């Protein structure tokens, strides 16, 4: 017989039996789906700290032990052996592709890289210094105005085409945001290049001059994209799922995910880390900023530190730190004061009682900005880079959700704490 929990009211002695739901790994969950219907009770959990909103077979995280797996494969093994599109295939279809399947998948993605010619004119409408994330949200949302032939979300083939389009076109849109910012012509994609090489081409080539990325740059981008590809029910993925639960089209859902990712507590942290390091400026100021981070009356937080789920090292941060050293050693011959500052700040924080007690460790974004900067990607594009990679996770979750027969429209409840019923007072009597 399945384990049950019995909740009891300490005053009335009234009890509620709750079934336990267990997955293949990770903590069990109390099934409270009947709680309101049967007992008129709600569960209260702001920030969803103890709430599982769905079952999912895409990604597994054990935050206490610093474990991250995509479809069962440890992130370290994927980082060491895979490229981004292989991981994208794994996340979307559940299995690593064979050679033939990978070639076919790469071919399909490269055939979808162009955006409609009229979409290119949208970029002219944005202010020259618009934040690229703002442009990303607008242009991605607009895709539903173009690709009407794949918008039947209940047709698995339509969902698949939309997923391919999204994964293929997001880098094109992202690079166009950058080109708009720097006032250069938008570059067409090159389908003879791989996913990361093509993105770097669209970013840094011009009609007058080709850009040949180094092997290390492509390797670093692949790693960052793999590590950012999915992270189960984080804020932006949950946003995509919630938007999609109403039956909204996939392009609108991904635009909502990009909007959620932009916040500094989420994907915006990589840009915020670099700003913070620049503000700290010098190792001699570390103590002052650590004190600010610990001061409850100061809003300053150590950006790139802490994570809702990881209460141990974020395994992605360890991999990125290694790559950071490699990239800086190969791509910049000068001594890098930002990396030195970041290393020392990390060392001081990890020895500080405040950070130890709260289990605050560097997260995925602590070092990613330093790599992006070494690749000449400007700080306001860092979160865009995250969005390119996370698009794969978003579409995988969106598709999983739509094909799950138990999924209903997402509709959290609330505990109302406002005014009791009162009568309308005419304006001249208030
Ligand atoms: N600097 C200083 N103190 C911190 C930090 C930090 N970066 N992060 C958490 N704390 C403290 C909080 O003040 C709180 O202290 P208290 O218990 O004395 O009140 C305690 O640690 C717990 O923090 P919460 O905010 O409750 O943790 P939560 O799980 O809600 O937040 C978050 C996690 C948002 C990531 C937080 O750690 C943070 O703001 N970090 C900085 C931003 C960042 O790097 N975000 C990227 C996350 S990774 C990603 O999205 C890809």
Mean pLDDT by 10 residues, the chain (430 residues): 83 92 95 92 95 96 94 98 98 98 98 95 94 97 91 93 97 98 96 96 97 93 97 97 96 97 90 92 95 95 91 90 87 72 92 95 89 91 96 98 92 96 97
Other C-beta atoms closer than 10 Å to the C-beta of 306 total 20
Protein residues whose CB sits closer than 6 Å to any atom of ligand 1: 47, 265-267, 269, 293, 301-308, 358, 360, 363-365
Ligand 1 centroid to Cα of residue 316, in Å, is: 17
Question: How much is the pLDDT for 332?
Answer: 64
**Atom 47 (ligand 1): residue with closest C-alpha?**
266
For residue range 223-252, what is the model confidence (pLDDT) as tens digits?
Answer: 999 999 999 999 999 999 999 999 999 999
- Which of 258, 306, 345, 394 most suits a substitution to test ligand 1, by most atoms within 8 Å of the C-beta? 306
Residues in the chain, total: 430
* Measured distance CA(134)–CA(384) in Å, rounded: 10
Quick check: is 149 catalytic? no
Pair type for strands 4-8 and 67-70: unpaired
* DSSP result, 301-334: --TTB--SS-SS--HHHHHHHHHHHHHHHHH--S
β-sheet bridge partners, residue 6: 17
Distances in Å between the alpha carbon of 318 and those of 109, 224, 288, 364? 30, 12, 26, 8
What's this model's pTM, rounded to 2 decimal places? 0.92
Q: Are 75 and 319 in contact (CB under 8 A)?
A: yes
Question: How much is the pLDDT for 271?
Answer: 87
Question: How much is the pLDDT for 105?
Answer: 98
Ligand 1 centroid to Cα of residue 416, in Å, is: 27
Closest CA to 242 of 393, 399, 134, 398: 398
Diameter of the chain by CA atoms? 79
Ligand 1 centroid to Cα of residue 305, in Å, is: 7
* Measured distance CA(164)–CA(229) in Å, rounded: 15
Within 13 A of 366's CA, how many CA atoms are on the CB side?
Answer: 30
Ligand 1 centroid to Cα of residue 400, in Å, is: 29
Quick check: is 365 catalytic? yes
């Amino acid at each position: 017989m399945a384990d049950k929990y019995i909740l009891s009211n300490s005053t009335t002695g009234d009890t509620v039996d709750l079934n336990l739901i267990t997955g293949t790994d990770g903590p069990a969950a109390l099934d409270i789906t009947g709680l309101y219907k049967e007992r008129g009770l709600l569960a209260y959990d702001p920030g969803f700290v103890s709430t599982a909103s769905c079952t999912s077979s895409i990604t597994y995280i054990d935050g206490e032990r610093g474990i991250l797996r995509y479809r069962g494969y440890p992130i370290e093994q994927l980082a060491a052996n895979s490229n981004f599109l292989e991981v994208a295939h794994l996340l979307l279809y559940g299995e690593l592709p064979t050679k033939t399947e990978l070639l076919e998948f790469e071919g399909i993605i490269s055939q979808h890289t162009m955006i409609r010619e009229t979409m290119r004119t949208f970029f002219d409408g944005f202010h020259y210094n618009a934040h690229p994330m703002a442009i990303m949200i607008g242009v991605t949302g607009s895709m539903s105005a173009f690709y009407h032939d794949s918008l039947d979300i209940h047709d698995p083939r339509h969902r698949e085409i939309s997923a391919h389009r999204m994964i293929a076109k997001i880098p094109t849109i992202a690079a166009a945001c950058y080109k708009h910012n720097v006032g250069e012509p938008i570059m067409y994609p090159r389908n003879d290049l791989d996913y990361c090489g093509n993105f770097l081409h669209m970013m840094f080539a011009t009609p007058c001059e080709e850009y040949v990325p180094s092997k290390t740059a492509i390797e670093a981008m692949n790693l960052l994209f793999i590590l950012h590809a999915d992270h189960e029910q984080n804020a932006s993925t949950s946003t995509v799922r919630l938007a999609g639960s109403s039956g909204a089209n996939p392009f609108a859902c991904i635009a909502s995910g990009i909007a959620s990712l932009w916040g500094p507590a989420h994907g915006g942290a990589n840009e915020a880390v670099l700003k913070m390091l620049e503000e700290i400026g010098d190792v001699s100021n570390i103590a002052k900023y650590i004190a600010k981070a610990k001061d409850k009356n100061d809003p300053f937080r150590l950006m790139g530190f802490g994570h809702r789920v990881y209460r141990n090292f974020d395994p992605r941060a360890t991999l990125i730190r290694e790559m950071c050293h490699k990239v800086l050693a190969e791509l910049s011959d000068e001594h890098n004061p930002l990396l030195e500052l970041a290393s020392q700040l990390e060392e001081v924080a990890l020895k500080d009682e405040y950070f130890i007690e709260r289990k605050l460790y560097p997260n995925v974004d602590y070092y990613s900005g330093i790599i992006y900067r070494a690749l000449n990607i400007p700080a306001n594009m860092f979160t865009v880079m995250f969005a390119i990679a996370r698009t794969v996770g978003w579409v995988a979750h969106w598709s999983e959700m739509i094909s799950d027969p138990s999924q209903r429209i997402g509709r959290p409840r609330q505990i109302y704490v406002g005014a009791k019923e009162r009568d309308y007072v005419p304006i001249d009597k208030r």
